[in-house]
Every structure is written in structure tokens, then in C-alpha cells.
Amino acid sequence: MYVTRLDVQGVRNIHKSLLYPKARINIIYGENGSGKTSLLEAIYLLGRGRSFRTTNLKAVINRASDACTIFALLGNGGTDDISGVPIGVSRTSGGGFHFKVAGRQVYTSSQLAETLPIVLMNSDSLALVEGGPGHRRRFIDWGVFHVEHSFRETWRKYQRCHKQRNKLLRHDKISMAELDVWDREFISLSTQVAECRQQYFDKVLPEFHSIFKSLNGSLDLDLRLFRGWAEDSSLSKELKKSYQRDRVSKTTNSGAHRADLKLKYEGRPASEVLSRGQTKAVVLAMLIAQGRVLHRVRNKDCVYLLDDLAAELDRAHLSRGMELLLEQKAQIFITGTSKDALQALVPKSLARGIGLFHVKQGVVDQEEPDLI
Ligand SMILES: Nc1ncnc2c1ncn2[C@@H]1O[C@H](COP(=O)(O)OP(=O)(O)OP(=O)(O)O)[C@@H](O)[C@H]1O
Ligand SMILES: [Mg+2]
């Protein structure tokens, strides 16, 4: 499924725009501050129920409007496909936030995500390598959520149990019998979460290596999933060992909430040794691998939002990255300031079928592609 029609109202400087994106490549170009990222933000809101720029959704609403509304049709067919699934989100400045999928109100962003899986690459995506473990856990969990539906419920139970255990650790006097009950539950859920993640990771890893090799040649990277407690120990032992530390810190120091992806090059953490360009290639390879696995396991394609990718990657990586993305047959929205530079990334065979959008001060014009 891909976005065949996109209606954006009251998002940042976009008052009202109607677009008919194409199945594969959609180029969004315009000057700085014209509204390109805002357009991607609107699509992201549709698929994730939140912004990638702010947690304060009021900031997304156009200053002269009292609500933002994004509506899309998701279809499989050509330009005359009007039988697609409607999906919409609206947020009022008063705080009301509504999601609709196929004409029905839904109440969780995961229902949006299930309908419209989105993968975003922008300058913040480098945090996947350079940032804290939370970024990498979210990367893994996004994938697990999409390929293994039962994961959401397990993760929810895990979080509740983790919270209860931490609450108990804050008591002055702890009933060991009570702690033991929570620990059993905690160990069982941690193990389930870790297994789901490992299964997903085992699918992503070979894709990652093959994509990265194709993007970056010979760098021999070592990517591993750390489950949140020592490989050579059981969680039960780890909890006993860290009991005093847990008491002092009033938090649980081992468990699935501590999972991470460890990326190493020649035995050193990749964030310490890779160049910026190499880091970008790693991130792109991880994101493409994620889309490939989703396609393979669920026969679903995600929509890629690539914000100012040219600023993030050199020409060679950019072209190769684009080829790899196109192998997936996913829908791509790519922004930049230069129409020509973006069009140059499109293989000749696809040039006729691209969507071309010129954004000027919040107004989006759909143009015919230049055929060179
Ligand atoms: N709530 C809002 N209401 C109206 N305008 C806003 C709001 N929030 C941000 N803007 C403005 O929207 C404009 C578009 O911003 P956006 O980040 O989409 O631009 P862009 O085309 O991606 O630019 P760049 O090439 O610099 O990345 C900016 O001028 C910004 O100041
Ligand atoms: Mg931008």
C-alpha cells in the first residue's frame, strides 16, 4: 500500500494542500523554510500519530489555524485508484487528537502504524549509531512490532511489571516474598521480549550486512543484539547479584529495558571510529534492512521519508542507497533544495513515473517531471 492522495491542512506553514503522490519516487523540492519537512512531518503524523520534530503537537498546528488535519488514501493501483483505504489524523489547538482508519475512529497510534508503516531518515537518524541505547531499542521494537503482533501486548505487560518492581525497590522495607513474585514475572516477560527481539534481529542482520556491503564496500562491522543482561548468565542470577545496587539506585539494572544494539568496528564501538559518512551509510543500511524484512515477512511495504538526504550522504552513497531502496518497491518521499540534483538520482526507467512537488511558502504545486 502506498499513499495515492494526500490532503494536508494547517500543518506548520501549509494551510491547505492536495497531492497525488506516485507509487515509487516522490521528489519534494523548494527553498529553505518553504515547507518540505513539514510535508514529511504530516505524512509521519499519519503513520505514527506523533511528530518527529516535537512532542508538543500544538507547535505543528499552523499559527493562524485552530487545527491540523491530514488525510490520505492508501492504494495499490495506478493514478485512478480511488478505492484505497482512507486514513486520517486531526489535532485541535484545544488538545483533541483523533485518528481514523478506514472510516472508523481508532484510539492508538499503533493502529495507524499497522496501516501505514513509516521509516524516516533525517539528520537525527544518526543517533541510531551515535546516540543512547533508547534509539536502538526503538529501532528494534518498531520492527518487532510490525512483524510480530503479539509483541505489543508482551511489551506492555513487561513495562507494567518493570514499573511495579521499581516501585517496590523504593519501599523502606521490602517484603522478599513480594519481590520474588514480581521477579518471576519480570524474568518471564524479559525473556519473552528478548526472544521476540532476537528473532527479529536474526532476520535483519544478514540484510544489514548485505546492504551495507553494497553501500560501503569492505568495512567489516560487527553488529550484535545485547538482550539486557549478560549472555553467560541467567536473569535470575543477575537480579540477585544486582539487588544491593538496585536498592541504592531504586531501579532495576538488568532486564529487557536495558537491551541495546552493539555496533563495533575492529573491536571498538563504531561511534568512536566511523567517519560521519560511514555512520550515515550504516544508518541507511539499517533502515533499508528494516523495510526489506517487513516486506519479506509480512509482504508489506513501508513508506520511506528521506529528509534532505543529500546533506547527509555523498553522491555515490546517495545513488546506491536510492537503488537499494528502489529494489524494495517501497514508496519514497525525498526532499531537497535542488530539483535537478534530486531528479538526477532517479533511474531513467522510472523518470516518467515520479511525483514532483514544488513547495513555495507553504503552497505545494505538483509538476510534470522533466524528462532528460
Ligand atoms: N506552527 C507554525 N505555523 C506557521 N508556520 C510555521 C509553524 N511552525 C513552523 N513554521 C514555519 O514553517 C516553515 C517551513 O518549515 P520547514 O521546516 O518545513 O521548511 P523546509 O522547507 O524543510 O526548510 P529547510 O530546507 O530549511 O529544511 C518555516 O518557515 C517555519 O518557520
Ligand atoms: Mg527541512
Model pLDDT, residue 82: 56
Instruction: Give the separation between CA 91 and CA 39, rounded to whole angstroms.
Output: 16
Ligand 1 pocket, Cβ-based, cut-off 6 angstroms: 12-13, 30, 32-38, 59, 61-63, 308, 337
pLDDT (mean) for 162-175: 93
pLDDT band, residue 83 (cuts 50/70/90): low
**Res. 102: pLDDT tops 70:** yes
Mean pLDDT on 107-115: 92
| CA gap 70, 18 in Å, rounded | 10
Greatest extent of the chain over all pairs of C-alpha atoms, in Å = 76
Q: Comparing 33-42, 127-136, 168-177, 330-339, which segment has the lowest mean pLDDT?
A: 168-177
| 73 vs 253: CA distance, rounded Å | 45
Q: What structural domains and CATH numbers belong to the chain? A: 1-117+301-372 (3.40.50.300), 126-300 (1.20.1050.90)
Indicate the DSSP class of residue 285. H
pLDDT for 77 equals: 57
Please say if the pLDDT value at position 98 is more than 90. yes
**Ligand nearest 31 Cα, by number?**
1
Query: Distance between CA 251 and CA 167 in Å, rounded?
Result: 8
E-only strand ranges, 20-157: 25-30, 67-75, 85-92, 97-101, 104-106, 118-121
Is the pLDDT score of 81 beyond 70? no
Mean pLDDT score, 146-170 = 94
Please tell me the pTM assigned to this model: 0.94
pLDDT of 216 reads 81
pLDDT value at residue 315: 84
Alpha helices in 148-175 (DSSP H): 151-169
Separation of alpha carbons 27 and 332, rounded Å: 8
Residue 55, all three cell numbers = 512532542
**Which atom of ligand 1 is nearest to 63's Cα?**
3
Distances (CA, A) of 100 to 143, 258, 267, 336: 23, 34, 48, 31
Ligand 1 pocket mutation, candidates 13, 28, 39, criterion most atoms within 8 A of CB: 13
In this structure, the number of other CB atoms found within 10 A of the CB of residue 158 comes to: 22
Mutate-to-test residue for ligand 1 from 12, 91, 358, 363, highest number of ligand atoms within 8 A of CB:
12
> Which pLDDT value is given to residue 251?
96
Helix, strand, coil percentages (3-state) for the chain, rounded to 5, are 50, 25, 30
- Distance CA(33)–CA(252), nearest Å, equals 45
The SS3 call for residue 247 is: helix
pLDDT tier for residue 312 given thresholds of 50, 70 and 90? confident
* pLDDT value at residue 311: 81
Distance 183 CA to ligand 2 centre (A): 47
- 117 contacts 146 by C-beta, under 8 angstroms: yes
Q: Is pLDDT of 30 > 80? A: yes
Task: Report the distance separating Cα 291 and Cα 303, nearest Å.
Answer: 9
What is the residue-averaged pLDDT of the chain? Answer: 93
